[in-house]
Structure 1
Amino acid sequence: MLRIEKINFSIDGRPLFEEASASIPDGHKVGLVGPNGAGKTTLFRLIRGELTLDGGQIDIPARSRIGGVSQEVPSSETTILDTVLEADTERASLMKEAETADGHRMAEVQTRLADIDAWSAEARASTILKGLGFDTPEHSNPCSAYSGGWRMRVALAGVLFAQPELLLLDEPTNYLDLEGALWLESYLAKYPHTVIVISHDRGLLNRAVNTILHLEDRKLTYYGTPYDGFVKLRAEKRAQLTATAKKQQDRRAHLQGFVDRFRAKASKAKQAQARLKMIEKMDMVTAPEEAAKHVFTFPQPDELSPPIINIEGGSTGYDGTAVLHRLNLRIDQDDRIALLGKNGQGKSTLSKLLADRLALLDGEMVRSSKLRIGYFAQHQVDELHLNETPLQHLQSARPGTQPAQLRARLAGFGLHAAQAETEVGRLSGGQKARLSLLLATLDAPHLLILDEPTNHLDIESREALMEALTAYNGAVILVSHDMHLLSMVADRLWLVSGGTVKPYDDDLDAYRSLLLTKESPAKPAKPKQKQKRATRDQVLDLRADVRKCEERVTKLEQMREKLAKKLADPNLYDNEKVGELEVWNKKYAEIMEALGRAEELWVKAQEKLDRAQAD
């Protein structure tokens, strides 16, 4: 059990924790939630021992390994599969030692390797990489071949593979697509040890965790329910506190009124003093402050005749090479469309085509002549001018507009006076995202294209975005790993796969089930071929398991033969060598035990392979 007992901690004189306590049972899956800046990431650093407490203590079970995704992502020539395998440092060390160990130590090494199921490691690492979006042929690619976001996935795969007893994850879905996020939800729900995850993804907080640890007002409160249950319990608790505080204030006002009226009267002086003491002794309950309202205010466009975009027989791509083809698409102004599909299938390419940032290679596209398009993508957040303020960004976009009007526009996106005059480089990720969304919607677009708009937005901001999109009367094209946002905003689904785009006629829950049963949606028209492909990948992994088990048995057989020759030496049975004989007998018994285990693993691996090949 992880115990946090009356901890105190401040940064630059600002207290983040004051007598905060919580206990997390082993094996529980916990969502750590709270306002931005409250200290959630700091709590992780305190648990890892990177920061020193001002008071209190954090007790972690003995010999528990703590794991998380480092900000230093791998960028070497090591393959991504080997990078993941090396994350289990004990296995990597034992595998290296097994190459040179002899005698008794070899038996110990092999026994420990069997205990940690080392021989199925490659298959397990491969499964994790596939879940996070790396196809099997990519597993032999070097880490340096991938961008920072993809290397973060490799780092995440590594810590999941290492299976630390305490897994700390800070916004793990920020660099995943919908498919990867849904796979991670399922994986964490089955994770064999304790997980604490900081997340603003409502779906993950409802499906992957079973409890919520809430950080607010420098205190920790543990709720034995997923996020939706926590919201309900917290609302009830706040209502009770508000009612109690109101009753106390009314009671205090009544007593104070008596004191004020009769303090000067001799006949009532004692009673007034008694009531004054009652007021002093009252243990007042403070009414909870109303949470700051998070808002987005999208300007409403004028209405255009449908369709606003129509594509027939279209294809598009880069440098003359088509990425998407056979495009027959229509968009009306009241459409709310979510784009589904694995990373690399062309969702961003389609978004750029619709946003007029890519041209058609073939076919015909007709746009409304007055069509205005707003486009938001994460790279635009990264391209903001760090040394300029949000107000200066708007002045550049609207040079003739009065500053007061620009400030009002900023306030409509939750960027108030203090943020308006702060350099962008000093703003939080969420505040930068708000500024980029404001710039994307400044012209009241008829079509708003949003590519992962919720990265760095907290839950309240995501809810505000959802409300703004619901009220918005333009068309929306949405790419997001936030399934809650998709389910609340989108009323049409398009599947981008196999080099084209087609309507997906089922709902998001069906799509989620499809992904979690490992049936790739890449080619929905050919389910039999799709199933064979999945089986072929599985067979390759199982064959690798069998090969590893066979090699291990061969090595142990060789060691057994060496020991058998040693024990066949008549000189070993002299009375003077009784102690040495016992040592060699013990080593032989250990090798035989390890050999028995290895043969059992070999048989099981072969049985799995036989079953897979028979399917």
Structure 2
Amino acid sequence: MATYVDILKSEFPEIDTEVFDYITGVLDSGGSDFEDGEEVFDAIGGVLQEVAAEKNEDDVRDICLQLFNTLKLTNCHSNPRQVLLDAPVQLSQISVESAASATNDVQGIWMVKRNQSTTVDAKKLEKAEAKLRAKHERRNEKDSQKPSNPLVLEEASASQASSKKESRVDLSGKNRSYDVRIENFDVSFGERSLLQGAELCLASGRRYGLVGRNGLGKTTLLKMLASRSLRVPAHISILHVEQEVAGDDTPALQSVLESDTVREELLAEERKLNAHIANGTADGSESIRLSEIYARLEEIEADKAPARASVILAGLGFSPKMQQQTTKEFSGGWRMRLALARALFAKPDLLLLDEPTNMLDVRAILWLENYLQTWQSTILVVSHDRNFLNAVATDIIHLHSQRLDGYRGDYENFIKTKEDRLKNQQREYEAQLQYREHIQVFIDRFRYNANRAAQVQSKLKLLEKLPELKPIDKESEVVLRFPDNFEKLSPPILQLDEVEFSYSPELRLFTGLCVSADLESRICIVGENGAGKSTLLKLLMGDLTPISGTRHAHRNLKIGYFSQHHVDQLDLNVCSVELLLSKFPGLTEEEYRRQLGRYGISGELATRPVASLSGGQKSRVAFAQMTMPCPNFYILDEPTNHLDMETIEALAKSLNNFKGGVVLVSHDERLIRLVCKELWVCESGRVQRIDGGFDEYKDILQEQFRREGFL
């Protein structure tokens, strides 16, 4: 019997992990309460329609009916007996305090079997129910007036202390500052506390880089800000680039223009008033209003908006032809670029970016660095790209030990200042420890000396008053280990000779392709998105067959492949240990745990469902799975996506120590500089080797920007 999980995966194969978790959470918690498929549609239909734009409303209703039927069967098997209440619950007896402290979610009421003699005051019950209905109507009306916010998983929550004075000032509209200051707040994910008593200060116009280890809550913090679960002044507009643009018939350029809601509303009103004037139905006030609209449009430079939107799209890699394509024609990666373009065009007061470089090639990253350096409002960006943060950030916020520490300057300055702070704290700790030991020696020496009793008592009181001495909280070093217990292979190891390849007869992707690699190779493939980098990797692996030419591979070559979409290859419903067990049966649990431990997935993390891990932790599980058979050659497609800085450094070190060959596609400048000795550029159906390495490639791109007017 198919479960609702099976139905969701088959009907929506490309569903986002967090949206999937949200939907299954709704079905898990409310499955027994749904009375028909229509109630299931009301609960999750809107989300499902956003996930699959190609399905119409009737299709989604049919799927919701299937989900309801599976839930009904499940509940019948798990709860064959149902106990009916002997009497209705008296709502008037529910405490006012518990109702006031409830969240905006539906309240759960424990219903107990009541005694047969229980009597209900019908009038009181009717009055209480009327009050409750009115309260829900007011709440629903208030919620409908709020701006729509990105989806926040139910497990994530935030709380903060705020004074009544601050709330009154915010509600009165007198607070016109664009600084964000949130004090004494907590953030948790399920039962796990991510931040405790933290403080976040964002000065208007500054660009903040949020850094910290994988799984500590950086993405969750952005979501709490975007959903205003943490109180941000109401007049500050927030845009969180998190979800890709929905695919429909809107051209890409028009989609970006529509993100400026002020301009769109003014233009719509202008068209309406001009229609009235043309029909002769306008009065004097409408003509005055039309003049005001023209003045406002001129003030915001509405006529220059299409050109500005086109420049943003071009910088992010959209050709003039692509800018006229409908959004439904683009893949998920390009729709994420569209979401970023819309955010840059809309110019919110607070822009929240979560790993914006993951979806971009080197050229687009360099353009984005230049563009954000002139950004006028506030930015908070989570990024693992060290060079990107050095180019963009004016401040760094470090998330560690359930708190946030601020540093002035770029990432390099943060590293230096943090090391200096740790050294000073260590010296202070050692000095305090020495002072305590000195006092303790005096106490131990004269404890039983009657003449020194008063002094001993004084020293004991002094020890009690000293603050609690805590050792310095240092983050553990990240270590990745790529096993290399294999024999040396004699060349040729892997090569392509005069290869020609295309996905369609009209478009030849590669012609006359000649490349080779050996066990000493450290090669990075770069180029614009769509130039064929991932295709080249698949040709090297033998997953694609060329139209002409040959692929030569050593008979003992064993390739380990890390996919750009590695999460799709993981079973998210099992824990990491079970994942390795299913892929490589026959070993003990201790051996699976040891393999995961080599990549930082140890202890409780190894037994948690893969779906509950952060993006970086999922990448580490993928590394553990990839290296299990001990390959002698690695082909890595964007391996740094979602990894934190420390893990990228550890990855570079492990690849340098590895005794086999490495070919990778990456846009991370830090990794390329640390690892790669050779650079291949995919462009115009050819692969060109650049002798000057990444510096020469960067100079070529900067020169292109100057020619195209981006600089």
TM-score by length of 2: 0.69
**Counterpart position of 1:20:** 198
Equivalence for 1:258: 442
Deviation of 1:13 after TM superposition, in Å, equals 6.5
* Corresponding residue pairs, total: 518
**Post-superposition shift, 1:46?**
4.5
Task: Determine the structure 2 residue equivalent to 1:74.
Answer: 246
**Aligned pair in 2 of structure 1 residues 76, 346: CA closer, same or farther (>3 Å)?**
same
Aligned twin of 2:516: 330
Check if 1:192 corresponds to 2:376: yes
**Does residue 1:296 correspond to 2:468, yes or no?**
no
State which drifts further: 389-398 or 16-25: 16-25
The one-letter amino acid of 1:407's match is: R
Task: Map 1:275-290; keep pairs closer than 5 Å.
Answer: 275-290=459-474
> Any idea what the Cα deviations from partners look like across 1:205-238, whole Å, max 9, x if unmatched?
1111121122333333221110011011101101
Structure 1 401/42 Cα, relative in aligned 2: closer, same or farther at 3 Å?
Answer: closer
Measure how far apart 1:137 and its partner are. 0.1
Q: 1:144 aligns with which of 324, 328, 335?
A: 328
Amino acid at match of 1:164: P
**1:599 maps to what in 2?**
none
Per the alignment, residue 622 of structure 2 pairs with 436
Q: Which amino acid aligns with 1:242?
A: Q
Which letter maps to 1:309?
L
Measure, in 1, the Cα distance between the counterparts of 2:434 and 2:210. 36
Q: What is the CA–CA distance in structure 1 between the aligned matches of 2:400 and 2:418, rounded to whole Å?
A: 11
Aligned to 1:8: 185
Q: 1:271 to 1:240 in 2, by over 3 A?
A: same
1:180 is paired with a residue whose SS is helix
> In 2 relative to 1, CA 13–384 (structure 1 residues): closer, same or farther, beyond 3 Å?
closer
> Any idea what the Cα deviations from partners look like across 1:402-438, whole Å, max 9, x if unmatched?
3333322221111213233333222222222112122
What residue in structure 1 maps to residue 270 of structure 2? 98
Q: Is the 8 A contact 2:633 2:661 kept in 1?
A: yes
Separation in structure 2 between the aligned mates of residue 447 and residue 50 of structure 1, nearest angstrom:
47
Task: Supply the distance in 2 between the matched residues of 1:51 and 1:25 (Cα, whole angstroms).
Answer: 20
Q: Which residue of 1 aligns with 2:503?
A: 318
Query: Aligned runs of 1:21-170 on 2, under 5 Å?
Result: 21-48=199-226, 50-52=228-230, 60=233, 63-71=235-243, 73-101=245-273, 102-170=286-354
Alpha-carbon distance change, 105 to 510 in structure 1, aligned in 2, over 3 angstroms: farther
SS at match of 2:651: helix
Structure 1 residues 455 and 229: alpha-carbon distance in aligned structure 2, compared to 1, 3 A threshold: same
Helix, strand or coil at the partner of 1:161:
helix
Counterpart in the other structure of 2:565: 379
Q: What is the CA-CA distance between 1:266 and the residue it aligns to?
A: 1.4
Q: Which residue of 2 is the match for residue 577 of structure 1?
A: none
1:309 maps to which of 464, 483, 494: 494
Contact 1:337 1:490 in 2 (8 A): yes
Deviations 1:113-154 (A, max 9, x none): 122121111111111112212111011111111222221111
Q: Distance in 2 between matches of 1:112 and 1:241?
A: 56
Q: 1:412: which partner in 2?
A: 598
Write the distance in 2 (CA, Å) between the matches of 1:211 and 1:228.
Answer: 11
1:393 counterpart = 2:579? yes
Residue 232 of structure 1 pairs with residue 390 of structure 2: no
* 2:655 paired with 1:477: no
| Counterpart residue identity of residue 337, structure 2 | R
Q: Note if contact 2:429-2:472 (Cα within 8 Å) is conserved in structure 1.
A: no
Secondary structure, in 3 states, of the residue corresponding to 1:378?
coil
SS across alignment from 1:518:
helix
In structure 2, the CA distance between the partners of 1:19 and 1:386, relative to structure 1 (3 Å rule), is closer
Residue of structure 2 in register with 1:578 after alignment: none
TM superposition shift of 1:10: 4.2
Distance 1:22 1:381, change over 3 A: closer
Counterparts of 2:589 and 2:236, CA distance in 1: 56
Residue 349 (structure 1) aligned to one of 527, 535, 542: 535
Question: Structure 1 residues 317, 443: CA separation in 2 closer, same or farther (over 3 Å shift)?
Answer: farther
- Segments of 5+ residues of structure 2 without an aligned counterpart are 1-177, 274-285
Question: 1 CA distance for matches of 2:407 and 2:270?
Answer: 47
**Are residues 1:459 and 2:650 paired?**
no
The alpha-carbon deviation at position 22 of structure 1 amounts to 4.6
**Aligned AA for 1:240?**
N
What's the CA shift for 1:331? 1.1
> 2-side partners of 1:514 and 1:284: how far apart?
57
Q: Does 1:489 align with 2:675?
A: yes
Identity %: 39
Structure 1 residues 14 and 267, CA, compared in 2 at 3 Å: closer, same or farther? farther
Shift of 1:359: 1.5
Hey, which bits of structure 1, 4+ residues long, moved more than 6 A? Answer: none
Q: Which has the higher contact order (CA 8 A, sep 6+)?
A: 1
Q: AA paired with 2:682?
A: V
> Is the Cα–Cα contact under 8 Å of residues 186 and 516 in structure 1 kept in the other structure?
no
Deviations 1:331-358 (A, max 9, x none): 1211111111111110010000111111
Alpha-carbon separation, structure 2, partners of 1:185 and 1:519: 12
- Runs (5+) with no aligned partner, structure 1: 521-530, 539-615
Letter in 2 for 1:331: A
Aligned partner (choices 240, 243, 252) of residue 427 of structure 2: 243
Match of 1:518 among 681, 686, 704: 704
3-state SS of the aligned residue for 2:489? coil
**Aligned residue type for 2:388:** L
User: Structure 1 366/48 Cα, relative in aligned 2: closer, same or farther at 3 Å?
Assistant: closer
Per the alignment, residue 175 of structure 1 pairs with 359
Q: Distance in 1 between matches of 2:191 and 2:609?
A: 24
Deviations 1:154-179 (A, max 9, x none): 11100100111221212212222222
Letter in 2 for 1:134: F
Q: Distance in 1 between matches of 2:227 and 2:332?
A: 27
Distance 2:629 2:436 in 1: 54
Q: Deviations over 1:56-77 (max 9, x none)?
A: xx5x5x8442222143632221
Q: Which residue of 1 aligns with 2:611?
A: 425
Could you state the TM-score of these two structures normalised by the residue count of structure 1?
0.79
